Structure 1
């Protein structure tokens, strides 16, 4: 089916009162696993390519983006492309021509007033070029190799009143909020603040996004969607499964040099994780009106 648009998938998820799974792509095997796993689960899906992943590929956006677009368009479920955690405005400018319908512009490292100013500029440009724009308010740790932030530290969580003001001042289409998760968690031990999620969902008129979902247990994840989270971002869980499969294959067959022999089980392991988590996300009822 044709390449879907993130805004349409989010609107459908809100209307159906369910979550929308979004998985991060680093290699072609990730993209293949995401589309195959989403098909297995019968779930619409967002394929996300981050600025860090673009840097890993030598700063070249188009090769992997075009491969993702082809896989998404060929999928038997609706699939959209999203450019994630963009800090470079020039990368934002490259998104429409590369097939992305949405971008997460990340100015969260800036002081609050500067975050608003930078994000509003990004929103204005994005909307003129047909892009849905997501932003972040609060401190979600674990980015770019930094250690996971203490999600319970004072000042870490997103304040509902500040979030409502941020959305009004910037015009963003979706908001990533800090409610107890952290990027790059390899264990599923995060405890989310579900009361805060409900308050945020009531205060903010756009879909809420949960970053760092790999570290969130199934029951916590389902409860977060019930409380009002809509877009659920998952990345490290795929890397954990894929790397474990590679280690097992090379450990059992140390003579291997053909990457197809160990990337095949890695891709299948990631496919299984996508299918399991995508099914969980779409089957959990959302709490937004």
Structure 2
């Protein structure tokens, strides 16, 4: 299991650091609000985006329970190195840094070394988005500095030439979720990019939950209620879990029948996990936040 600081699961809202979008993001109360310095910022805007992002950390903006983080540029690039120097110089603490294009544990450990003296408490997360990374999951996920992982479907599909469909990405997504569970770290599924297709988002979020991801990314506040609903147990699931746990408690560790099923330790553990998720169910968030 990773010994790094663990990142939150749940909803991760990715947003550019400019144009007032952070305020809209925070109103939607994601578990993580991730200011993006990479894909959403053109090369000519990197310097100003970096300055704007760091200003948000020092502005005293009320974040509630939301963790504020940064998706930096790849550390092997000039802008990635500048991002790390800026974070270190600013002395950011207790924040989250998402590192793109991770293909080895060493990529993460170099980031940790760069930040360890002045940026204490940083949770370092890996963006897994290349075929090479998928074949090195055990090495990457065993890193003691790793606090969580995010799947990058768009870059992975571009690198492999596959379509961005459920069947095409099934192996990559299930491999990531399983490896993360084996190492005891949260795993966040890729965002759904079609803002005009809420049914597609609902379907993909439910698939992510079923595969074992602990959360999902979003690119707009209006996507968050759908993602939350997908990851919260239904009333039927809660009732079934309660029946299993009640039967197991009465049986004192012995196999027992509940709702027509034979209940053993794996089913009991799964039922308790469902009840834990139900107890942590977030409060409803109003629709309508705009970036």
**Would you say same fold, with TM above 0.5?**
yes
The Cα of 1:59 is off from its aligned counterpart by 0.7
Q: Which runs of 5+ in 1 are unaligned?
A: 1-6, 14-18, 140-154, 239-273
The Cα of 1:44 is off from its aligned counterpart by 3.5
**1:66 — aligned with what?**
55
Change (3 A) 1:205 1:124: farther
Q: 1:79 aligns with which of 49, 62, 66?
A: 66
The Cα of 1:79 is off from its aligned counterpart by 2.5
**2:125 — aligned with what?**
134
1:92-131 to structure 2, matched below 5 A, reads 92-95=84-87, 97=90, 99=92, 101-108=95-102, 112=103, 115-128=104-117, 129-130=119-120, 131=122
Asked if 2 retains the 8 angstrom alpha-carbon contact of 1:23 and 1:48, the reply is yes
The Cα of 1:138 is off from its aligned counterpart by 4.3
The Cα of 1:127 is off from its aligned counterpart by 4.4
TM-score (norm 2): 0.56
**1:28 — aligned with what?**
19
User: Equivalent residue of 1:27, what SS?
Assistant: coil
Separation in 2, partners of 1:117, 1:213:
29
**2:182 — aligned with what?**
203
1:5-20 to structure 2, matched below 5 A, reads 10=8, 13=9, 19-20=10-11
Write out per-residue CA displacement over residues 103-140 of structure 1, whole angstroms, 9 at most, x where no aligned residue.
122343xxx5xx4333221123334432111123342x
Write out per-residue CA displacement over residues 210-256 of structure 1, whole angstroms, 9 at most, x where no aligned residue.
23432562211132034332353333xx4xxxxxxxxxxxxxxxxxx
**1:190 — aligned with what?**
165
Q: 2:140 aligns with which of 166, 175, 194?
A: 166
From the CA coordinates, give the structure whose radius of gyration is larger: 2
**1:242 — aligned with what?**
none
**1:91 — aligned with what?**
83
The Cα of 1:8 is off from its aligned counterpart by 7.3
Asked if 2 retains the 8 angstrom alpha-carbon contact of 1:134 and 1:172, the reply is yes
Asked if 2 retains the 8 angstrom alpha-carbon contact of 1:175 and 1:207, the reply is yes
User: Equivalent residue of 1:121, what SS?
Assistant: helix
**Does residue 41 of structure 2 align to residue 57 of structure 1?**
no
Higher relative contact order (CA 8 A, sep 6+): 1
Asked if 1 retains the 8 angstrom alpha-carbon contact of 2:72 and 2:98, the reply is yes
- How many pairs does the alignment contain? 206
Q: As a proportion of its length, which structure holds more helix?
A: 1
**2:204 — aligned with what?**
220
**Does residue 223 of structure 2 align to residue 277 of structure 1?**
yes
User: Equivalent residue of 2:214, what SS?
Assistant: strand
Q: Which runs of 5+ in 2 are unaligned?
A: 75-79, 158-163, 195-199, 233-269, 274-291
Asked if 2 retains the 8 angstrom alpha-carbon contact of 1:92 and 1:103, the reply is no
Asked if 1 retains the 8 angstrom alpha-carbon contact of 2:34 and 2:71, the reply is no
The Cα of 1:197 is off from its aligned counterpart by 4.8
User: Equivalent residue of 2:47, what SS?
Assistant: coil
